[in-house]
Amino acid sequence: MSDTTRQAPGGTTTLAGHRVARVGFGAMQLAESPGRPPVDRETGVAVLRAAIEQGVNHIDTAQFYGETVANELIRAALHPYPDDLALVSKVGAVRDEHGDLVAAQRPEQLRASVEANLATLGADRLAVVNLRRTDTPPGIVAEGDQRVDLDSQLAELVALRDDGKIGGIGLSAVSAGQLRQALPAGIVCVQNAHSLLDRSSEPLLDLCREHDVAWVPFFPLGSAFPGFPKVTEHATVRAAATALGVTPAQVGLAWELAHYARTLLIPGTANPAHLTENVAAGAIRLSAETMAELDGLATR
């Protein structure tokens, strides 16, 4: 067993040919979180380096997180990148001249976004790029010429994969029907909002199980945005955490890991103590009784 395998939080699974720890890191909180400014460079760099030191080798980012703040922090903290690090980004939106997030769904915009990510990250290749669709909330909803058919987008992403600029294609904010449509292109992961308390994407997760596609829930703790159920605030989650001597966030993350063997976590935090907690969730095993109780908290 290699050191990487032994230390991998949550064990490992594959992602576009990379063997990655099942507990990864989502970079959005470093760059933008409602109600607080981006972290200072020193903190951001420290959190990213701590993640790698604790065995994380899968980082989720986007060119548009905090304009380019997240990608710049990743580069400052980790370049030259460890060989086993899977840098995963997403395309489908950009910042406009006012800094507002707008859809950028057209095939040539997807290519430009991949190039922009490579440039800011200082990388030759992204392990995976998620096509972030904008058909439905949460987030921006595309209108007009930004309502682009999925097949033309997949053709561009396949071309980018053939060019060697991306290692695999993922989908984000999609329906089960869209995943079915895209499967022939070789989809390696799906990233939809999902948590112990928000299981509305569960039919899509079932399809991932059926086709052995990795599941990368965003908002696994319920996000920092208002209006999403907060895993750490739920009374049953808190009671389970107290009984187990762990934290409520760890219960929520351990539930996600136990829910599907190919779930990859990307919890977001700018807090070093929370990072350590989230990584340690990879070692927590919930009993069948606790799983059943937690399973009952949200309807599908």
Ligand X SMILES: NC(=O)c1ccc[n+]([C@@H]2O[C@H](COP(=O)([O-])OP(=O)(O)OC[C@H]3O[C@@H](n4cnc5c(N)ncnc54)[C@H](OP(=O)(O)O)[C@@H]3O)[C@@H](O)[C@H]2O)c1
Point out the residues that are catalytic. Answer: 65
Taking a C-beta distance cutoff of 8 angstroms, is the pair 90, 51 a contact?
no
Q: What is the spatial distance between Cα 151 and Cα 153, in angstroms, rounded to a whole number?
A: 5
Among 95, 232, 236, 293, binds ligand X (CB under 6 A): 232
Q: Which among 104-112, 147-155, 205-213, 263-271 is the span making contact with ligand X, rule CB under 6 A?
A: 263-271
Q: Which of residues 7-66 bind ligand X (CB under 6 A)?
A: 26-29, 33, 60
Judged by CB under 6 A, the residue of 20, 127, 187, 270 near ligand X is 270
Nearer Cβ to ligand X, position 8 or 246?
Answer: 246
Nearer to ligand X (CB atom), residue 8 or residue 196: 196
Q: How far is the CB of 129 from ligand X (least distance, A)?
A: 11
Q: Which of 57, 120, 172, 201 binds ligand X (CB under 6 A)?
A: 172
Q: What minimum distance in Å lies between the beta carbon of 2 and ligand X?
A: 26
Query: What CA–CA distances, in Å, run from 157 to 106, 114, 199, 207?
Result: 11, 9, 28, 21
Closest-CA residue to 193 (of 216, 168, 165): 216
DSSP notation for 70-107: HHHHHHHHHPSPPTT-EEEEEESEEE-TTS-EEE--SH
Regarding 222 and contact with ligand X (CB under 6 A), the answer is yes
What number of residues does the chain have? 300
CA 26 to chain centre: 6
Task: Please report how close the Cβ of residue 252 comes to ligand X at its closest, in angstroms.
Answer: 8
Q: How far is the CB of 25 from ligand X (least distance, A)?
A: 8
Question: Is residue 127 a contact partner of residue 114, using CB atoms and an 8 Å limit?
Answer: no
State the maximum Cα–Cα separation within the chain, in Å, rounded to a whole number. 53
- Rounded Cα distance, 94 and 284, in Å: 38
Task: Out of 9, 168, 267, 282, name the contact with ligand X by CB under 6 A.
Answer: 267
Residues forming contacts to ligand X in the complex (CB under 6 A) are 26-29, 33, 60, 90, 132, 139, 172-173, 191, 218-224, 232, 249, 266-271, 274, 277-278
